Amino acid sequence: MPDRLDGRVAFVSGASSGLGAHFAEVLADAGARVALAARRLERVEALAKRLNLPERPAAAFACDVTNIVNIRQAVAATEAALGPIDILINNAGVSATQKIVDVSEADYDLVMDTNLKGAFFLAQEIGRRMIEGGRGGRIVNIASVASFKVLGQLATYGMSKAALAQMTKAMAVEWGRHEINVNALCPGYIGTEINADFLAGEGGKKLLAKLPRHRVGEPRDLDGALLLLVSGEESRFINGALLSVDDGLVLT
């Protein structure tokens, strides 16, 4: 069983809904002091208020990962409020279901700036602080089964996640000497509030028919892998891994 996270500080980007909000709750339940960061400040403030305890504070910060100055401000504010960051869950991301011929420059930039550029500079900022502090740390980039497999009408999303997987491996090699482990969690289809309407409709039924066991996962299906990758001792020899949690979808 992965060790507890008592006293450790975790920064979760894209924490206003979906997997980001779920990951924040999981880390808080494991004892971490959690910084919830997202563009929708009111959403993360409400969640932070619910998670906050005297022995395990939680705090909310506005953070648009497409703005590098904003990234630096949010990270600095987190460390001022909660202490040095030990864990980064690099989760902020967007998707656009489009045929390649319909992708505009603005569509392309939104996906790449959020999923890749934002993820890179957030990891860079926190990684730099981990190195300077000499404390080591754990970085988990939230990639996707789309890092390995072509998914219909998700070309730009898949491109961004494939690059995120390569980024994970490069950071793992460069930062391993500093006791910073960098890994990627690669979920398959997970049911959240964002895709609930789609999954309940005809498009969702067609998707389910194509999946290996005709089902999508739940956010809790990622908990074990997440806690393993952020643990101290349990993950000490896991570095540069791309961990698929997809019910076998990548094999099809």
Can 108 be counted among the known catalytic residues? no
Q: What is the Cα–Cα distance from 21 to 172, expressed in whole angstroms? A: 26
CA dihedral sign of residues 47, 52, 58, 60: positive
- Assigned token pair, 27: 């880390």
CB–CB of 185/219 below 8 Å?
no
Tokens of 213: 């066991």
Task: Give the count of beta carbons closer than 10 Å to the beta carbon of residue 130.
Answer: 24
The tokens 């491996």 sit on which residue?
Answer: 169
Pairing outcome for strands 58-62 and 33-38: parallel
Complete edge-to-edge strand list for the sheet that includes strand 9-13: 58-62, 33-38, 9-13, 87-90, 137-142, 180-187, 242-245
The one catalytic residue among 11, 157, 175, 189 = 157
Q: Which residues, 6 or more positions from 164, have their beta carbon under 8 angstroms from its beta carbon? A: 115, 116, 119, 141, 143, 147, 184
Q: Which residues are catalytic?
A: 157
